[in-house]
Structure formats: C-alpha cells, structure tokens
C-alpha cells in the first residue's frame, strides 16, 4: 500500500525530533491537566509541573524513578499499577477512567484519567503515558439545559440518603435505560457509582476533622452500615476509614 505525502512528512518529522525534546512541557501550560509517563516497571520518568507540585517535588530530579507506591496508599497504587499492566499487556488504551485521587495531605478529588501505551521505534510497548484531569471540570461541560441537570442537583443535595434511579430518570424526562446511558456518556460513570463516590468523598472531611465513630459517619452519609462504609471507602481510597484517619488527621 502506497504511503501518501502527508504520512511521509509526519514520519520524517518524528524521526528528526531530538530525543528528550520534552513534549510533556506543553502540559505545563494547560490548566487542570496532569501528565505522566512510566516505564514497564512503573517508574515515573516524565511529568508536568502540576503533577510534580501535587506530589510535593520542587526539584524534578528527585521525582524521576519513583513509583505510585511512593506517593499513594498501597491499595490505590496497586489499582493504578494493574491498570498500567493491562495497557502494557494489551497495547490498548484505557480512556476516561473516573477515580478518586489524593494530595499529599489526604484531600481527595475526582479525576478523569486516560492511559495509552508508549511504544519504542521497534513497536514494543515500553511503558504507559497518560493524563489526569479534574473531573469537576468535565461536569461543567454539560449544557445548562441538559436533561441531566435536575438529577445531578438532586444527587448533590441528597446523596447521603437513599436515591431511586427510576426517580432520577423521571426528573430527567427519560426512561431508566436512556437515563443510565446518557449519564454514563456524559459523566463517564454510572449513576450508582457516582452516588457512592460522592458519599466516600464527603466522608473524608469528617474523618479528618472530627472524632465521630465510623458507625455514625456511615449512617449519616447513606451507607447501610459500618461494614459497607469500610468496603466502599477502601475500594475507592485504597485504605480503610480508620487508616485514613490515622494517616491524615
């Protein structure tokens, strides 16, 4: 199959780039975007200034060669590592992953993560690169008159209580199936997962600032009981509520 002129120009351009050109520096000038690249073993070898600042590294040379296990709770780092290995093994990207990420002080935020394979000139997958974007910014992209707006406002106000998905669909003027599909298309997660993540996120402030019992926090934030609270908290935060309190209080 003949290669067209545009493809030839592109290949020539890419071959001419000086190794270490530092394309990641472009991300220093895009607000709200974190950039990273890792080798097959998970060592962080490229990052933009925003990611370095998030992890508290004024000197980037001290950051190179660290891994997620140096910066995050073990279970959370393990989850990220498993995603990386999936991309490396399959050579396929993982796009628009909605997950909770933490700063060094334990303050959580929602992010939208994209991971793509890094290939050598021989076509071998030698690592993973990706971006992490503030998830709240994604929500702001919804049109003001979006069908989902009434449902999102209801979730925001009542996430700590029992919420009926059929009722949310009715508020949006959609069938349950249409609502769930549209919700996932726009917010990259299901309504049920969205509600649970909101609950987990909200409990972090209580855990850091108060000494209330886990059972009371679980009840106040809509979890069935303390066991359910601990299960979902560990799934999303990478540690138990008690471990989080001990670490970040």
CATH topology of domain 138-248: Arc Repressor Mutant, subunit A (1.10.10)
Q: Are strands 108-119 and 94-102 parallel, antiparallel or unpaired?
A: antiparallel
Looking at residue 23, the DSSP 8-state letter turns out to be G
Tokens of 14: 């890419």
Domain ranges of the chain: 22-135, 138-248
pLDDT at residue 247, as a whole number: 86
Read off the pLDDT band of 1 (50, 70, 90). Answer: low
User: For the chain, what percent of residues have pLDDT higher than 90?
Assistant: 50
Q: Are 101 and 108 in contact (CB under 8 A)?
A: yes
Summarised one tens digit per residue, pLDDT across range 129-173 is 999 987 776 666 566 557 888 998 899 899 999 999 999 999 999
88-111 as b/e, with b when 16 or more CB fall inside 10 Å?
beeeeebeebbbbbbeeebebebb
pTM for the full predicted model: 0.72
CATH classification of 22-135 is 1.10.4080.10, yes or no?
Answer: no
- Distance, in Å, from the CA atom of 83 to the CA atom of 105, rounded to the nearest integer, reads 24
Domains 22-135 and 138-248 share a fold: no
């Amino acid at each position: 199959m003949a290669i067209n002129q545009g493809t030839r120009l592109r290949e020539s351009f890419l071959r001419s780039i000086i190794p270490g050109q530092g394309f990641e520096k472009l991300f220093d000038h895009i607000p709200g975007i974190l950039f990273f690249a890792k080798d097959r073993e998970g060592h962080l070898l490229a990052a933009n200034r925003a990611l370095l600042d998030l992890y508290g590294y004024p000197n980037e040379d001290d950051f190179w060669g660290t891994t997620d296990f140096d910066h995050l709770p073990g279970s959370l780092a393990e989850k990220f590592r498993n995603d990386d290995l999936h991309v490396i093994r399959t050579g396929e990207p993982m796009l628009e992953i909605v997950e909770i990420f933490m700063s060094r002080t334990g303050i959580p935020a929602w992010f939208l993560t994209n991971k793509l394979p890094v290939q050598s000139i021989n076509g071998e997958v030698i690592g993973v690169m990706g971006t992490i974007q503030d998830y709240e910014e994604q929500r702001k992209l919804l049109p003001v008159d979006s069908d989902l707006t009434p449902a999102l406002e209801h979730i925001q106000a009542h996430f700590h209580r029992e919420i009926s998905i059929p009722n949310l669909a009715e508020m949006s003027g959609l069938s349950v199936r249409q609502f769930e599909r549209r919700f996932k298309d726009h917010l990259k997660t299901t309504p049920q997962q969205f509600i649970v993540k909101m609950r987990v996120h909200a409990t972090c402030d209580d855990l850091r600032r108060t000494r209330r019992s886990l059972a009371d926090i679980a009840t106040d934030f809509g979890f069935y009981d303390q066991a359910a609270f601990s299960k979902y908290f560990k799934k999303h935060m990478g540690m138990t509520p008690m471990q989080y309190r001990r670490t970040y209080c």
